[in-house]
Amino acid sequence: MTADDRPTVAVVGGGIAGLAAAWELTGGGAGPGAQSPSVVLLEAADRLGGKLATVEFLGGPVDVGPDGFLGRRPEASQLCHEVGLGDDLVPIGASGAAVWARGRRRPLPGGLFLGVPTRLLPVARSGILSAGGTLRLAADLVAPRPDARGPLGDRAIGPLVARKLGRQVVDRLVDPLVGGIHAGGVADASAAAVLPAVLSVAQRRASFMRSLGKIGARAPGPGGEPAFWALRRGFGSLVDRLVEHLDGRAVDLCLSRPVEAMERAGSRWVLATAAGPMSADAVVVATAAGPAAALLGPHDPEAAAILGALDYASVALVTFAFPEDALPDDLFGTGLLVPHGTPLPRQVAQAAGVDPEEPFLVTACTYLWAKWPHAARPGVRLLRASVGRAADTRARKMSDADLVRRVGLELTTLVGAAAEPIDALVTRWDDAFPQYRVHHLLRVSSVEAAVRRLGGVAVAGAAYHGVGVPACIGSGRAAATDVLAQLQGADSTASA
């Protein structure tokens, strides 16, 4: 095959899923081969990386999107090694975290499975639950509650765990932990997509906690490896390195080039952009669900309707720099979770000029100086506060200045901040987190089946099989493998 008759693949969207797709299309770690297609990546924004973003803040890099990734999944560290950033990987610098419960910070107990307890004693000792809540949890050991609804393909995490272990466990442990990852609540979150272990033990008659504990013990453990990793120079360095390599592989990286429509032209696709149409043999659509729905709508309205119905939560991050002595020394672990709906203390509500029952805006605080060695700054402590989640859009309506002031006030209570911050940086991520509701995986498989029927298209990104960076990398690479196989199939049919 000569360079001229190579097929062309277009990647729509230059977030990590799209970049990973382009990497895989051009041979991945092994590099391009004679069969590799010519690749064009079209990105709507004027920068690549999507949610991956690193800025300079007080003399060093700070991630203002994701700040680390789970080591349990291999995709992110594998990609870092492939692009030559293996030596830049840094393990998390502290372990454990706290939750705001019953009026103060309390360390999270051991034995949690994404917030779901597998042991009674650590939870009982943590003081996170009231006496009634602890008794309700203990009942699972002596009189486990059967699952009332029988086997189903999927269930909502919140009601399922509440029936087994009580409402307080959901509100004070499961919701803050799962919410911290998905920026949404567990009332209607899909167990099959987010916490499949919970679903698999729900039908057992034995104690829910013990059954989960056994599964946890059997799960392939991290083998003493740190659970969470980051890049010393931030996720931006992964984007930069990928861009360098993709440039070297002659991938055409087009910025400020939103794809407005996809049309069929025989067996090929024509993509409409402001710079004119471009034609491709195959397309990887690596955007959020909304733009994917708009592009696929004319070709499969049902798949587009499913994608269009996937809703997204908006969040904002406020990264503060506090003088070192402004924060107490007893802040535990890597951060603090604030359960949804926790009312502000009276004096904070008064100072903020809001109703006494108004809940905290802050959903979580990350102690960056403790979590990541590269976020340590001499004499300064960087703290990142997260605000906003599904069903809480208050932060979207506030100006940056009001947000900094309000979050600063909340931090006086939450982490005992005793002085004004030296600096603060607001980063807004509107419509950033897809909400995986009950039967999410069923909807995803319908979309994937519809896309497969169209031929020459694959979808990738956070909307489908996981929002974490490793999952998005995995989905980008899988979509690339899928379209390569389709192209090879078409090629062998043509030459037969």
Residues that bind ligand FAD (CB under 6 A): 12-18, 42-45, 50-52, 65-69, 258-259, 286-288, 291, 315, 317, 429, 432, 461-462, 467-469, 472
Least distance between ligand FAD and beta carbon 457 (Å): 14
Least distance between ligand FAD and beta carbon 188 (Å): 20
| Closer to ligand FAD by Cβ: residue 162 or 483 | 483
Least distance between ligand FAD and beta carbon 405 (Å): 21
Least distance between ligand FAD and beta carbon 278 (Å): 12
Contact call for residues 375 and 368 (beta carbons, < 8 A): yes
Contact call for residues 176 and 465 (beta carbons, < 8 A): no
Least distance between ligand FAD and beta carbon 421 (Å): 19
| Closer to ligand FAD by Cβ: residue 51 or 389 | 51
| Closer to ligand FAD by Cβ: residue 208 or 372 | 372
Euclidean distance between CA atoms 419 and 491, whole angstroms:
67
Q: Write a three-state SS string for the chain.
A: CCCCCCCEEEEECCEHHHHHHHHHHCCHHHCCCCCCCEEEEECCCCCCECCCCEEECCCCEEECCCCCEECCCCHHHHHHHHCCCHHHEEECCCCCCEEEECCEEEECCCCEECCEECCHHHHHHHCCCCHHHHHHHHHHHHCCCCCCCCCCCCCEHHHHHHHHHCHHHHHHHHHHHHHHHHCCCCCCEEHHHHCHHHHHHHCCCCCHHHHHHHHHHHCCCCCCCCCEEEECCCHHHHHHHHHHHHHHCCCEEECCCCEEEEEEECCEEEEEECCCCEEECEEEECCCHHHHHHHHCCCCHHHHHHHHCCCEEEEEEEEEEEEHHHCCCCCCCCEEECCCCCECCHHHHHHHCCCCCCECCEEEEEEHHHHCHHHCECCEEEEEEEECECCECHHHHCCHHHHHHHHHHHHHHHCCCCCCCCEEEEEEEEEEEECCECCHHHHHHHHHHHHHHHCCEEECCCCCCCCCHHHHHHHHHHHHHHHHHHHHHHHHHHHC
Least distance between ligand FAD and beta carbon 93 (Å): 15
Euclidean distance between CA atoms 189 and 281, whole angstroms:
37
Least distance between ligand FAD and beta carbon 193 (Å): 14
| Closer to ligand FAD by Cβ: residue 13 or 213 | 13
| Closer to ligand FAD by Cβ: residue 207 or 287 | 287
| Closer to ligand FAD by Cβ: residue 50 or 176 | 50
Least distance between ligand FAD and beta carbon 425 (Å): 13
| Closer to ligand FAD by Cβ: residue 12 or 362 | 12
| Closer to ligand FAD by Cβ: residue 42 or 128 | 42
| Closer to ligand FAD by Cβ: residue 164 or 440 | 440
Least distance between ligand FAD and beta carbon 338 (Å): 16
- Residues 49, 50, 53: CA angle, nearest 5 degrees: 65
Burial class (CB in 10 A: 0-12, 13-18, 19+), 230: buried
Least distance between ligand FAD and beta carbon 471 (Å): 8
Least distance between ligand FAD and beta carbon 432 (Å): 4
Least distance between ligand FAD and beta carbon 10 (Å): 10
| Closer to ligand FAD by Cβ: residue 169 or 463 | 463
Q: Which residues of 426-449 are buried (b: 16+ CB within 10 A; e: fewer)?
A: bbbbeebbbbbbbbbbebbebbbe
| Closer to ligand FAD by Cβ: residue 104 or 264 | 264
| Closer to ligand FAD by Cβ: residue 315 or 438 | 315
